[in-house]
């Protein structure tokens, strides 16, 4: 990326603020909330938010930890959605297998797109992914089995493993929650693995990572495939939730939305995309009545975030907490917050 510019995730978390115990408590509270949520909130809303949260987390893996902005993630989300819809509806495939098939195709697509796109960096990478995704969109528009403007409707949810009836809202919700947790865990493990450390090194200074002997292209490609796969998992699951796969899923506006969710929640923070997705879906729910003003509001949020709120919700909270911590524990204390670079 640029040598002079401030890295897009320079304000991302450097080290965890929380002690391991606090982290454990917080995780337990959130989990309990997630389990109890469908009894207080509309399950479809929650499932939608969880699918998009997983989608945003997958996207964030690339921008937040490798520094690559993909503007074409709708391609993976939408393709997986179409595949799952087709195999479960037309071939009568069991839902779990259907999701697996959709996800696998997204992974393959990720392999091809990633292989092409990682040849360029920075804004070129964004434009290349956008253009490749547009190709998928036109394919979906013209191919026969996607049913054009109608999309694939009335996709059956079916019986999970032939046993659990997914048309039951609560069963479906816990299935979606399980899928989300699995995806989130994979991302969390990736980020905190040696592999994730190398990705961060590439983000910060690719030439240096190369000089240390890392084959950065392979790392970038692998991260890209992982991100595409999880975006596909989110798309496939979404298809079963709404029983629909349509052109909306592959449009470039979808790619834009996932960027927005991540930006609002906090680029390069582990939990930020989840918060961003929930905020976005809630907002969308309330704004649905305003029709095309939604686009305008999306645009305003983009401008606002880029100009004054670049850390996002989670990033901002972490930043404030770190600042307070630093003032309470004045310097020689180890691990005190350093001034955020570029500020």
Partner 1 sequence: MLTFLPHIPPLPALLGQLLIGLINGAFYAMLSLGLAVIFGLLNIINFTHGAQYMLGAFCAWFLLQIAGVGYWPALVIAPIVVGVFGLVIERVFIRHIYRLDHLYGLLLTFGIALIIEGVFRNYYGSSGLPYTIPDSLGGGQRITLFGRFIMFLPNYRAWVIAASVIFCFGTWFMIERTRFVVNLRATTENPTLVQAFGINVPRMVTLTYGFGAALAALAGVMAAPIYQVSPLMGSNIIVVVFAVVVIGGMGSIMGAIVSGFLLGIIEGLTKVFWPEASTTVIFVVMAIVLLVKPAGLFGRTA
Told to check if 123 binds partner 1 by CB under 8 A, we report yes
- Contact segment (CB under 8 A) with partner 1 among 21-29, 137-145, 163-171, 183-191 equals 137-145
Measured between alpha carbons, how far is 267 from 64 in angstroms, rounded to an integer?
5
Backbone angles phi, psi at 51, to 5 degrees: -60, -45
User: Quick count: other Cβ atoms within 10 Å of Cβ 333?
Assistant: 10
Cα end-to-end span (Å), the chain: 19
Told to check if 342 binds partner 1 by CB under 8 A, we report yes
- Contact segment (CB under 8 A) with partner 1 among 18-26, 37-45, 179-187, 305-313 equals 305-313
- Nearest distance from C-beta of residue 75 to partner 1, angstroms: 11
Beta carbon nearer to partner 1, 16 or 253: 253
Measured between alpha carbons, how far is 171 from 50 in angstroms, rounded to an integer?
15
- From the list 56, 58, 83, 126, which residue makes contact with partner 1 (rule: CB under 8 A)? 126
- Over its C-alpha atoms, the chain yields an Rg (Å, rounded) of 20
- From the list 295, 321, 335, 341, which residue makes contact with partner 1 (rule: CB under 8 A)? 295
Coil, helix or strand at residue 35: helix
Measured between alpha carbons, how far is 82 from 76 in angstroms, rounded to an integer?
10
Told to check if 50 binds partner 1 by CB under 8 A, we report no
Residues in a beta bridge with 245: 152
- Nearest distance from C-beta of residue 309 to partner 1, angstroms: 12
- From the list 130, 187, 233, 245, which residue makes contact with partner 1 (rule: CB under 8 A)? 130
Told to check if 252 binds partner 1 by CB under 8 A, we report yes
Look at residues 243, 276, 86, 68 and name the one whose alpha carbon lies nearest to residue 172: 243
Coil, helix or strand at residue 334: coil
- Contact segment (CB under 8 A) with partner 1 among 4-12, 36-44, 50-58, 103-111 equals 4-12
Told to check if 171 binds partner 1 by CB under 8 A, we report no
Contacts with partner 1 by CB under 8 A: the residue count is: 50
Measured between alpha carbons, how far is 3 from 216 in angstroms, rounded to an integer?
17
| Residues in 18-47 that interact with partner 1 by CB under 8 A | none
Residues in a beta bridge with 159: 165
Told to check if 139 binds partner 1 by CB under 8 A, we report yes
- From the list 42, 138, 161, 170, which residue makes contact with partner 1 (rule: CB under 8 A)? 138
Measured between alpha carbons, how far is 48 from 278 in angstroms, rounded to an integer?
9
DSSP code for 340: P
Told to check if 291 binds partner 1 by CB under 8 A, we report yes
Coil, helix or strand at residue 4: coil
Q: Do residues 200 and 24 touch, judged by C-beta distance below 8 A?
A: no
Told to check if 247 binds partner 1 by CB under 8 A, we report no
Coil, helix or strand at residue 338: coil
- Contact segment (CB under 8 A) with partner 1 among 35-43, 77-85, 112-120, 240-248 equals 112-120
Told to check if 111 binds partner 1 by CB under 8 A, we report no
Measured between alpha carbons, how far is 254 from 239 in angstroms, rounded to an integer?
15
- Nearest distance from C-beta of residue 303 to partner 1, angstroms: 4
Told to check if 69 binds partner 1 by CB under 8 A, we report yes
- Contact segment (CB under 8 A) with partner 1 among 12-20, 90-98, 227-235, 296-304 equals 296-304
- From the list 81, 99, 176, 259, which residue makes contact with partner 1 (rule: CB under 8 A)? 259
Told to check if 292 binds partner 1 by CB under 8 A, we report yes
Measured between alpha carbons, how far is 330 from 318 in angstroms, rounded to an integer?
18
DSSP 150-193: G-B------EETTTEETTSHHHHHHHHHHHHHHHHHHHHHHHTS
Report which secondary-structure segment, H or E, holds 160: strand 159-160
- Nearest distance from C-beta of residue 43 to partner 1, angstroms: 30
Q: What does the binding site for partner 1 look like in residue numbers (CB under 8 A)? A: 1-2, 5-8, 69, 71, 116-117, 119-124, 126-128, 130-132, 134-135, 138-139, 141-142, 252, 256, 259, 263, 291-303, 305-307, 310, 342
């Amino acid at each position: 990326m640029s040598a002079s510019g401030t890295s897009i995730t320079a304000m991302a978390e450097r080290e965890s603020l929380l002690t391991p115990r606090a982290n454990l408590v917080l995780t337990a509270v959130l989990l309990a909330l997630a389990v109890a949520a469908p009894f207080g909130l509309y399950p479809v809303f929650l499932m939608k938010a969880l699918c998009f949260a997983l989608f945003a987390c997958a996207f964030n893996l690339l921008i937040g930890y490798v520094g690559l902005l993909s503007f074409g993630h709708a391609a993976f989300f939408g393709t997986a959605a179409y595949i799952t819809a087709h195999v479960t509806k037309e071939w009568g495939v069991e839902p779990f297998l259907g999701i697996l098939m959709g996800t696998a195709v997204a992974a393959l697509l990720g392999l091809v797109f990633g292989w092409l796109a990682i040849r360029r960096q920075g804004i070129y990478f964004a434009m290349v992914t956008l253009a490749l995704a547009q190709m998928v969109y036109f394919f979906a528009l013209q191919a026969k089995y996607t049913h054009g403007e109608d999309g694939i409707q009335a996709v059956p949810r079916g019986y999970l493993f032939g046993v659990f009836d997914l048309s039951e809202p609560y069963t479906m919700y816990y299935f979606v929650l399980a899928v989300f947790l699995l995806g989130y865990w994979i991302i969390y493990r990736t980020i905190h693995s040696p592999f994730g450390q190398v990705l961060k090194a590439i983000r910060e200074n690719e030439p240096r990572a190369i000089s240390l002997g890392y084959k950065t292209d392979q790392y970038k490609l692998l991260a890209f495939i992982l991100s595409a796969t999880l975006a596909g998992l989110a798309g496939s699951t979404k298809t079963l939730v709404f029983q629909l796969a349509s052109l909306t899923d592959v449009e470039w506006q979808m790619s834009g939305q996932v960027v927005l969710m991540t930006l609002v929640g906090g680029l390069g923070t582990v939990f930020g995309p989840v918060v961003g997705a929930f905020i976005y879906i809630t907002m969308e729910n309330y704004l649905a009545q305003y029709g095309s003003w939604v686009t305008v509001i999306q645009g305003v949020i983009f401008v606002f975030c880029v100009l004054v709120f670049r850390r996002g919700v989670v990033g901002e909270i972490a930043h404030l907490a770190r600042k307070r911590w630093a003032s309470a524990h004045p310097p020689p204390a180890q691990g005190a917050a350093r001034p955020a670079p570029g500020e």
